[in-house]
Amino acid sequence: MVAVETQRADGPRWLIAGLGNPGPEYDLTYHNLGFLAIDRLAEAANIRLTRPECKALAGGGVIAGTPVLLAKPQTYMNLSGGSIGPLLEKYTLPPERLILIYDELALDWGSLRIRYKGSAGGHNGVSSVLRSVGNDNFIRVRLGIRPEHPWKDMKEYVLSKVRKAQIETLESTLEQTLQAVETIITEGVEKAMTKHNRRAQGANEEQ
């Protein structure tokens, strides 16, 4: 009979990871909204993100009464799975216990969508996580970054800095992300989707 590895009794119940690129040149860029969300969660829960672990900056603590591990992969976006997969394995967490937070070009700026399962939708960081984890059974918190006006080079756009006029909306989105994660933990992903999935004011429905 094959032994089945069970979740560590003394470990976190959730891995909450944000996608982004390491280095000061990427601070406050659209592609780093995942990192900004993890920083907000860490600040609110008094968690220090200083421990190098599985190619990530990580920190353990408690959110909504539940032990969690927060992580920001330091592998660069396209290789994020090389950090997240090993973290899940280290703490014997199933993919269902991963909350992945990242920017989403398919959603308007200021929008937030919680989603369970699904494709990467062209997001290279999510593609890397899918390859590493081996299935799509994880929760995504997607933060909209679609520009108001067309850009010729979208790669240039996602690596550009959030404009000063957008900071207020960014702060609201990060606070909404904090509340969404807490609801996922305490009430489950379905309730969280009903409660927190929202569009930016005046935006069209997602395709």
Largest CA distance in the chain: 61
CA distances from 46 to 4, 39, 40, 42, 164 (A): 34, 10, 10, 6, 27
* Other Cβ atoms within 10 Å of 175 Cβ, number: 12
Cβ partners under 8 Å of residue 198, min gap 6: 111, 112, 176
Half-sphere exposure of residue 133: CA atoms within 13 angstroms, side-chain side:
29
Active-site positions read 31
Q: What are phi and psi of 11, to 5 degrees?
A: -100, 180
H or E, element range at 59: strand 56-63
What are the angstrom distances between the C-alpha of 207 and each of 108, 130, 154, 193?
A: 11, 22, 18, 17
- The whole-angstrom separation of Cα 42 and Cα 48 is 7
